[in-house]
Structure formats: C-alpha cells, structure tokens
C-alpha cells in the first residue's frame, strides 16, 4: 500500500509540475475583446515577439479593409480560412498552428486550426460591426 501511495504522489507531482511550467498569454482580436486563442509557452520568457507578429498580421488584414473603404460587406468572418495548418484572413497569413499547441489542446493541428479560425471569425465580425456602426 505504501508503494501505491508513493507512486500516486509521484504521478501527481509530475502532472502538476507540467501544469505549472506551462503558461499562456491570451491573444485577442485587436479592438474587439474577442479572445482568439491562448499562446502557451514554457519558462520565464514571454514570447512577445511571436504574439506581436500575430497581431501585426491581423492588423494588416484589417488595414486592407479600411484602405478599401471600410464597407460592411468588404470583410467578414467568412473571409477567415484554414489551409492545412495555416490560418488566413482573405489573402493575409495570420499564423500556423504548431504541434506544441495542438498537444496542449489534445487535438490535431488541423482540428486546432479550425477551432482558432472559428474564434477569429467571431472577432472579425465584431471588428467589422464595431467599425461600420451596423
């Protein structure tokens, strides 16, 4: 019985230590408050450069819409697409779903890309509605 208890404690410590090491930063859709996904990482260095690149890519997609006249029907969540493990808004690349995030979400990369794309669709729709007044 002592051996079982000891193994149970070891298993719990291993499980909890993995949870403690993994951290995350919410990545929202700029100006909407809609959460796109949780950028997970390990260690003490927050991957701000990678997160910033994702926000820049989203902003580029929005800027194309603004430059084209900001018409309500010029951009929508329907313009978000998944190609392989990559997510796009129209022709603007946003990000590639990696294996680390897929494993953390207990999904395949393709499944997670579809989930994140669904979140991005909601965010794009909120962004357009907020910025057209409709």
**Residues spanned by the domain of 23:** 2-132
pTM of the model: 0.81
The total domain count for the chain is: 1
Instruction: Look at residue 20 in the predicted model and tell me its pLDDT.
Output: 44
Contact 127, 31 (CB under 8 A): yes
- By C-alpha distance, which of 79, 117, 53 is closest to 109? 117
Instruction: Look at residue 1 in the predicted model and tell me its pLDDT.
Output: 56
Q: Could you count the other beta carbons within 10 Å of the beta carbon of residue 81?
A: 15
- Rounded distance between C-alpha atoms, residue 89 and residue 66, angstroms: 14
- Read off the tokens for 3: 């051996």
Contacts of 51 (CB under 8 A, 6+ apart): 25, 27, 39
Instruction: Look at residue 2 in the predicted model and tell me its pLDDT.
Output: 56
- By C-alpha distance, which of 85, 65, 78 is closest to 130? 65
Residue stretches of the chain with pLDDT short of 70 = 1-21, 133-134
Instruction: Look at residue 43 in the predicted model and tell me its pLDDT.
Output: 87
């Amino acid at each position: 019985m002592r051996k079982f208890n000891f193994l149970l404690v070891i298993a719990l410590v291993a499980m909890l230590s993995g949870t403690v090491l993994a951290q995350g930063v919410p990545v929202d859709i700029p100006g909407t408050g809609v959460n796109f996904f949780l950028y997970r990482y390990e260690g003490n260095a927050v991957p701000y450069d990678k997160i910033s690149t994702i926000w820049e890519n989203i902003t580029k997609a929005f800027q194309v819409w603004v430059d084209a006249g900001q018409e309500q029907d010029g951009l929508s969540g329907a313009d978000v697409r998944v190609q392989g493990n990559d997510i796009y808004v129209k022709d603007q690349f946003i990000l590639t779903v990696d294996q680390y995030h897929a494993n953390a979400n207990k999904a395949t990369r393709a499944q997670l890309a579809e989930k994140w794309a669904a979140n991005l669709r909601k965010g794009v729709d909120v962004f357009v509605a907020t910025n057209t007044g409709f």
